[in-house]
């Protein structure tokens, strides 16, 4: 993913690392609903009425990031505050802590329970299949997790970074973020992430450990009226 491709991350991912999942055409593509509610377009010149409508179910809401197509009044568009897109190009210090394990199908129920509690908006039944996921278990419970979501052969997004409320304040999110950041860099890819400005605690954590703001990236929800 060339650095400029980060300006259109849904589309870039659906044209490369997740092309086997893409539903759509040469100008527009989406993830299957059970993976993610994300839709990407090739450019701002795409005519939404003709290309997007056939991909959506009645009353379905999809999210767009970075690039918005041409839309008529047939669409209901909600504009959110832009997300902070952050990037890291050097390794981070991994603080000491509990063992980090790779999560698999046997952990799916725990992952879905944790994300439903603290990360409910974007995580779906098969989101785990978009990349690798890692977690920390404490007292037999999934205390914190992180995963890979968007990306291509050169960039990988850190995502679903979350901690169960019973285990906050122990540095688990920091440990997991540094671990996967360093692993991603060792694989020859550049890690990046998206965080809401309305989540200052998380944004501050990423800044403190060394992620820098690349840009604020526009973010929308779209539904056919």
Question: DSSP state, 56?
Answer: S
The structural domains of the chain, with segments of one domain joined by +, span 3-83, 86-215
Distance of CA 203 to the CA centre of its chain: 15
Bridge partners of residue 28, in order along the sequence: 41
| SS3 label, residue 121 | coil
Distance CA 27, CA 8 (A): 13
Distance CA 176, CA 182 (A): 10
| pTM exceeds 0.75 for this model | yes
Q: What are the pLDDT tens digits along the chain (225 aa)?
A: 456 899 999 999 999 999 999 999 999 999 999 999 999 999 999 998 889 999 998 889 999 999 999 999 999 999 999 999 999 999 999 999 999 999 999 999 999 999 999 988 889 999 999 999 999 999 999 999 999 999 988 999 999 999 999 999 999 999 999 999 999 999 999 999 999 999 999 999 999 999 999 999 999 999 988
Distance CA 209, CA 139 (A): 27
| SS3 label, residue 139 | coil
According to the model, what pLDDT value does residue 225 have? 84
Q: Which fold has domain 86-215?
A: Aminopeptidase (3.40.630)
Distance CA 94, CA 100 (A): 11
Distance CA 14, CA 27 (A): 11
Using DSSP bridges, classify how beta strands 212-224 and 61-65 pair: parallel, antiparallel or unpaired: antiparallel
According to the model, what pLDDT value does residue 1 have? 44
Q: Based on C-alpha coordinates, what's the Rg of the chain?
A: 17
Residue 83 near residue 217 (C-beta atoms within 8 A):
yes
């Amino acid at each position: 993913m060339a650095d400029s491709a980060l300006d259109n991350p849904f589309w870039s991912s659906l044209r490369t690392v997740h092309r086997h999942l893409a539903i759509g055409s040469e100008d527009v593509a989406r993830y299957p609903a059970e993976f993610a509610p994300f839709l990407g377009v090739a450019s701002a010149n795409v005519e939404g009425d003709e290309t997007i409508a056939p991909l959506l179910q009645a009353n379905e809401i999809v999210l767009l990031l970075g690039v918005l197509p041409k839309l008529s009044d047939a669409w209901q568009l909600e504009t959110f505050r832009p997300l902070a897109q952050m990037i890291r190009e050097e390794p981070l210090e991994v603080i000491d802590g509990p063992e980090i394990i790779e999560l698999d199908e046997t952990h799916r129920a725990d992952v879905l329970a944790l994300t439903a509690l603290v990360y409910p908006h974007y995580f779906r039944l098969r989101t785990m299949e978009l990349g690798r996921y890692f977690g920390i278990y404490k007292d037999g419970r999934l205390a914190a997790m992180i995963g890979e979501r968007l990306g291509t052969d050169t960039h990988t997004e850190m995502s679903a970074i979350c901690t169960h409320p019973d285990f906050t304040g122990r540095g688990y999110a920091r440990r997991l973020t540094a671990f996967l950041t360093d692993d991603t860099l060792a694989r020859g890819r550049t890690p990046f992430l998206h965080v809401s400005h309305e989540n200052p605690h998380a944004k501050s954590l990423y800044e403190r450990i060394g992620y820098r703001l690349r840009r604020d990236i526009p973010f929308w929800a779209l539904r056919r009226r």
